[in-house]
Amino acid sequence: MNEKDFPCLNDELVYLDSACMSFRPQRVIEKVQDYYTDYSGCSGRSGHSISRRAEQELENARAKIASFIGASKSELMFTSGTTEAINTVAQGLDFERVFLTEKEHNSNRAVWQELGVETVNMADLDLEFLEKTLGEKDLVSVLHVSNLDGEILDVETLCKISREKQAYTLIDAAQSISHGPFSVREIDADFVAFSGHKMLGPTGTGGLYVAERVQEELEPLKYGGGAVIDSSLSTNSREDFPHGFEPGLKNIAGFTGLGAAVDYLESIGMRKVLEHEEELTVHLVSELESMNVKIFNKGPGIVSVVPESMSSNEAAEIMDLKGIKVRSGQHCVHPWFKNKDFDSTLRVSLHLYNSKRDVEAFLKVMRSISAL
């Protein structure tokens, strides 16, 4: 992978925190700038050429992003990220119960708690339990890939079971969508949420896939201009999905930038991205196994470790001083850490721009930490 495509990267920096935030290639940055310098108008409102250009660029981006995940344009609404996407589902439908795993991100936990929805918490995705327990109007809302250890859940079988039980499925694809081949058609969930800033795109961007079969059941999270066909002093009629769910002026620069990120990912090939991360992960884990650390890894791209000689936060500070950027903490999955004999992990998360040099730099410092 060409590190030179990413302006933030340099020889002094080892960036291993892509599960939190990915870097952006130059073409994404330029696409964002293009909006502000070439056609900075309102999309879908004014009738002049600048506005028409903005609308065309925005809808072209929607088509690219939808195609990238195997969806049609009419099934993809723009959001500010995974959090807003999950909140849209949570507040747009009434569910009897919501089934979660222990490793769900707070974005997929806090909203259900605040709404007072009955939650059923599973330690792991238990398909046999779900097949026996799920009923109509239940929702299974789970991650696709864990941001803690890279575990990949069998969401295809989950969605099949849920459909048979007339229950709903919401898949948090924030950690999977830019790390390997991904298709909403193969998964066949009702809802899929994702974030642009984790897939080489601008911050404040993301999407919610809503299967055509459930679109009419969902109510919008927000209301306002741009989503309305007509209004009177007491009523209004809104556009169909997705435009009726996107009131207000859209983040045109951001979403066109996300379209450019999709172009970049597709130019490399998602199978190649996955194989690259798998290779780096295998090397990383094999070397860590000889050190005095606990290792948590169940899939490519994400490895958490707990040093025996110091806290994860102290280890991250040492790494930072050496130019190595990793994350320490509970990674927004606080329930998983309950009743453990440690309160945080040091997380390495990879993306297509990482190299064996990056992994070796981390391992060199880790060896000195584990030898203390």
- Quote the CA–CA distance of 166 and 285 in Å, as a whole number: 41
- Quote the CA–CA distance of 323 and 282 in Å, as a whole number: 23
129 three-state secondary structure: helix
Half-sphere exposure of 58 (CA within 13 A, CB side): 25
- Quote the CA–CA distance of 149 and 147 in Å, as a whole number: 6
- Quote the CA–CA distance of 225 and 276 in Å, as a whole number: 45
14 three-state secondary structure: strand
- Quote the CA–CA distance of 198 and 147 in Å, as a whole number: 11
Give the chain's end-to-end CA distance (angstroms, integer): 35
- Quote the CA–CA distance of 27 and 138 in Å, as a whole number: 42
Taking CA atoms, 122 is separated from 128, 130, 358, in Å, by 12, 10, 36
Tell me the pairing of strands 324-325 and 327-329.
unpaired
Q: Interhelix angle for 26-38 vs 252-268, to 10°? A: 150
Tokens of residue 203, six digits: 């911050």
Domains and CATH numbers, the chain: 3-24+270-370 (3.90.1150.10), 26-268 (3.40.640.10)
Q: Interhelix angle for 356-370 vs 312-321, to 10°? A: 130
- Quote the CA–CA distance of 233 and 32 in Å, as a whole number: 38
Q: Is 166 exposed, middle or buried (0-12, 13-18, 19+ CB in 10 A)?
A: exposed
One-character DSSP codes across 280-330: HHHHHHHHHTTSSEEEE-SSTTEEEEEESSS-HHHHHHHHHHTTEE-EEE-
- Quote the CA–CA distance of 239 and 46 in Å, as a whole number: 17
154 three-state secondary structure: coil
Find, among 2, 15, 9, 24, the residue nearest to 204 by Cα.
24
Residue 361 is predicted with a pLDDT of 98
pLDDT in tens, the chain (372 residues): 678 999 999 999 999 999 999 999 999 999 999 999 999 999 888 889 999 999 999 999 999 999 999 999 999 999 999 999 999 999 999 999 999 999 999 999 999 999 999 999 999 999 999 999 999 999 999 999 999 999 999 999 999 999 999 999 999 999 999 999 999 999 999 999 999 999 999 999 999 999 999 999 999 999 999 899 999 999 999 999 999 999 999 999 999 999 999 999 999 999 999 999 999 999 999 999 999 999 999 999 999 999 999 999 999 999 999 999 999 999 999 999 998 889 999 999 999 999 999 999 999 999 999 998
Q: Are 304 and 281 a contacting pair, CB within 8 Å?
A: no
Q: Are 158 and 169 a contacting pair, CB within 8 Å?
A: yes
Find, among 72, 90, 80, the residue nearest to 241 by Cα.
72
The residues assigned a catalytic role are 332
Helix runs in the chain, H state only: 26-38, 49-68, 82-92, 110-115, 127-133, 155-164, 184-187, 252-268, 270-288, 312-321, 334-337, 356-370
